A and B are shown apart, each in its own frame.
Chain A
Amino acid sequence: MDTRESRSPDQSVADKLDDEIANLRAQVESLKKELALQTSTLMTSEPIQKLLQPDRSGRPRSKQTEVDSKEKLLARAQDQNARKQQCLYRTCASITTFKIHDPDPNAVDDGHVLGVRLEVMSKSRFLRPYYVMLNRPYSERRYLRVHRHTVPQCIPLAGLAARYLPAPSNKRDHNDSSKQDLSQFVRALRREIVRYHNRNAVIGDLRKSAGLESKTERSQEQEVPIVDISAADAEAKQISVGWGDGRSGRLVMDDDGTIVKMVVQGENGRDRDAVRQLLGGSARIEEVVRRLEGI
């Protein structure tokens, strides 16, 4: 008993110290964040910008160290301005381009790579952007080719690239058929990505409206509750629905969320009533979400 008693205050002291350290660390992090935010705001404000402008009056009163630190600050302010501009473009344009240098010493075209950044929003939040890097491996021609990308596998990037960025044909006379259209390619790609995210989001909405997301038990007026709603394939075009009594269904929608068909399989074969009950003549998947909310 003695040992236990003597140990527990020790442990609590150690725990307290650990807590305190964790708290302090969190505080340091938040202060650092605040500092970065204040710095960036100050740096881009007009009075500071004016102050930082190089002294044109030519008065020799400032010391060398002062000039040095001022130059540093100026460089920092320029970086900050560039960053601000980049962020502005990224926020408004959703597709932005930038230059990358390929670190591979044997890279084609001296390592010049064009980066395309695609912004995606989901749940009123910017997601990590998708990138497509293009290079020009074909000698003496300005044809582009997808070099690297971070687009998920369920987006048919290769197919889009083959359609809009075909490789140059070897026959000289045949040039018209293989014309590349970068803007069309990027537009089609963005469309695919946004549609994919929208489909995923609508499945999330379905889950929420069926009461699957919230932990608290929601008043179930349906006699048989839905116990599972999830995407059934890579492209999130098929939704599998599971009921509490073992029935399972599959809803197929097209790229844009229009319902193509739905089948529910019960113990005694197809259950058309369940389909009617769930869909109720909805043409689009969002209507199903509203119906589920209404039930």
Chain B
Amino acid sequence: MARVSLPTTARLPSSLRVDASNPAVIKVLNRLSRTSLLSLVLDWLDPKNLTLCPPVLRHPEEGEDDEDEDDLYPPARSLDELQSIYVDLQARKGSRREVVDRIIEGDWRHGLSLYQLAMADMQYLYDHPGTLKWSTYRIERLQTPRHEDDVDADGIRRPEKIDKASLAIPRFHPSTFLQNLQAEVLPDVKAHYNLDRPPGLPLLLLRIFVLDSPYNTDLAVSSKNQNRSRASITTTVRTSTGSLIEMSAPNPSARDRRSGAAAPASFDASRTIYVAFPDAAPYVYISRSQSSGPTTPSDTKSLRTLVVEGIPKALSRPRERYALRPSDLHTKNLEALLAARGPGRGAAAAGGWSVYAAGAGEARDKALVSPLNVALPVTPPDSDAEGRAKKRGREEEEEEERLRKRRVARARFGDAARMDDGKGVERVDILLEDGFPALPGLDTNTLVEDDDEQEADMAGRANKPGRKKSGNTSSLFATEEGDEEGEREGDGRNRRRKPGETNWRPNLKLTFHGPHVFAGIRQLVEAGIVDGARAPGWMTGEEGVTVGVVREGRIRGFKGSGVGG
């Protein structure tokens, strides 16, 4: 350990070790299942990673008799021996506890490096992909000011304009980006970065681990208030892993550490935030930050703001500046994000338009692909259509009606929004700002009495998808008497009022919940509960947003086409 620690602006090194008895370490390891824990350990023991995660090995000069009899996990003599121990554990059945204890009491008793913790955290994310909520941002080029005066005219800084006519595609270079991002991080905060490529997803995942400390040495991971943290640690250790204290007590080094000069490390206010960069797409996905220890909501918010503000600066270069613009898509499903904001063709052609975007692999009608094939395209056969064609009378009509609904659903949703496509978003919020439709023969004033019922109808229709798909979901809709005119006129300058629309604008918010919202709506269309031909476009998910304001029946200013409104 370095005797003198100077405050610096450097990042936290990956090899920095955190004490193994730290509750944060135990928590990170305990989250993993036994199998992924074991494969993780074998990854640590891989010669490529070994410099960053060195295990405790017995010194070759030490003889057999030096062995501490009380040591439950005597250190292995060589790397191969250690590897075979863990391979044996993999073959054997047992508890996760056994492996965790072996790691923190035995082979990594001197502490786990930040790199190891990052790997463990990433492994947890891969095992449980739905644990983080992501928001998408679009990277946009800013106009280069033509002249210095443009920037600082009259001493007032003008907001930068987005260069819409720019043909540049932002390029992402990981190491340069990290250097620039580090420059944006404040000196009283230290961060550790870890880049990884999740298996099977075309994106690069950056884990940013932030500690409130001016040092980038051991001091950063040890607590400022030794007494307080020690007290807290002993209690946590006792409650979380029962017999740990007794077991580790005979180990002299561990005992020294616990009672001696170096207080056990504690992440009093550590926060983790993930940033994902999809390949070949000008978007960034940023996760909500997770924190260990007591933090206030404003605290985590500020970290997020820091990252959101730092990323465009880190991407920018002299005379080439970028900004991030939120793109109204929030979900826990990375696959859904990649489908709507990824490199594929379907990004700006979702919903019913996806028939044009289908990749070569999933093209059912190859005739659409090559103009050299002159055979007539065959309409995709409706399932079990042929078998039941012989039915008579009412049954036949019902069958036809069912097929018609399926065709309507196909026209509106295309090949997208299937229950099993794994691209489900779990929540969609829509705010309706349209005037209430006037009914013939009714005055606006008398309408006000009726419309509660009407709204209940509408909301009920929207309500059902959520309920049907998962039992415990709820749908929320709030109706308030809209402020008649005044306010609305202000922001609706260039709106035309449709004929047959009343002045009355209810403030209507729809929330759809479920494992796959749009697949649920599709099922409702197929079942005939929602009229597929009359359902508005935002119900089919073709806009690719999960938060939106509807005006004139369309989501205002969607970014799906890449042009923006």
- Min CB–CB distance A34 → chain B (angstroms): 10
* Residues on the A chain within 8 Å of B168, using CB: 156, 159
In the complex, A108→B412 CA distance in Å?
Answer: 16
Q: Please tell me the number of chain A residues within 8 Å of chain B, measured between CB atoms.
A: 54
In the complex, A103→B561 CA distance in Å?
Answer: 17
Interface residue B281 (Cβ < 8 Å from any Cβ of A): yes
Which of A40, A145, A147, A238 contacts B374 (CB under 8 A)? A40
Task: Answer whether A159 and B165 are a contact pair too, CB < 8 Å, given A90-B371, A234-B279.
Answer: yes
Task: Answer whether A107 and B343 are a contact pair too, CB < 8 Å, given A84-B374, A126-B372, A150-B348.
Answer: no
- Min CB–CB distance B375 → chain A (angstroms): 4
Q: Please tell me the number of chain B residues within 8 Å of chain A, measured between CB atoms.
A: 56
Which of A83, A86, A150 contacts B357 (CB under 8 A)? A150
**A151-204 at interface with B (beta carbon < 8 Å):** 151-154, 156-163
In the complex, A235→B167 CA distance in Å?
Answer: 11
Task: Answer whether A161 and B356 are a contact pair too, CB < 8 Å, given A106-B552, A148-B349.
Answer: no
Interface residue B282 (Cβ < 8 Å from any Cβ of A): yes
* Residues on the B chain within 8 Å of A44, using CB: 374
* Residues on the B chain within 8 Å of A106, using CB: 536-537, 552-554
In the complex, A268→B348 CA distance in Å?
Answer: 46
In the complex, A151→B347 CA distance in Å?
Answer: 9
Interface residue A68 (Cβ < 8 Å from any Cβ of B): no
Determine whether the beta carbon of A153 is less than 8 Å from that of B280.
yes
Task: Answer whether A91 and B353 are a contact pair too, CB < 8 Å, given A128-B363, A161-B563.
Answer: no
- Min CB–CB distance A114 → chain B (angstroms): 13
Which of A125, A129, A148, A159 contacts B353 (CB under 8 A)? A148
Chain A positions 134 through 148: 1 when the CB is less than 8 Å from some CB of chain B, otherwise 0: 000001000001111
Task: Answer whether A148 and B561 are a contact pair too, CB < 8 Å, given A128-B368, A159-B164.
Answer: yes
- Min CB–CB distance A107 → chain B (angstroms): 7
**A70-123 at interface with B (beta carbon < 8 Å):** 76, 79-80, 83-84, 86-88, 90-91, 103-108, 119
Determine whether the beta carbon of B348 is less than 8 Å from that of A149.
yes
Interface residue B47 (Cβ < 8 Å from any Cβ of A): no
* Residues on the A chain within 8 Å of B378, using CB: 36
- Min CB–CB distance A287 → chain B (angstroms): 25
Q: Nearest A residue to B531 by beta-carbon distance? A: A105
- Min CB–CB distance B530 → chain A (angstroms): 12
In the complex, A90→B367 CA distance in Å?
Answer: 12
**B349-408 at interface with A (beta carbon < 8 Å):** 349, 352-353, 356-360, 363, 368-378
Which of B348, B372, B377 contacts A148 (CB under 8 A)? B348
Interface residue B560 (Cβ < 8 Å from any Cβ of A): yes
Chain B positions 307 through 350: 1 when the CB is less than 8 Å from some CB of chain A, otherwise 0: 00000000000000000000000000000000000111111110
- Min CB–CB distance B3 → chain A (angstroms): 34
* Residues on the B chain within 8 Å of A289, using CB: none
* Residues on the B chain within 8 Å of A128, using CB: 358-360, 363, 368-369
**Chain A to chain B contacts (Cβ below 8 Å), 19 pairs:** A36-B376, A80-B374, A87-B372, A90-B371, A105-B533, A106-B552, A106-B553, A146-B562, A148-B348, A149-B349, A152-B345, A157-B563, A158-B562, A158-B564, A159-B166, A160-B167, A161-B563, A233-B171, A235-B171
Binding site for A on B (CB under 8 A): 164-169, 171, 279-282, 342-349, 352-353, 356-360, 363, 368-378, 411-412, 496, 533-537, 540, 542, 552-554, 560-564
* CB-CB nearest 4 A-B residue pairs: A106-B553, A104-B537, A90-B371, A234-B280
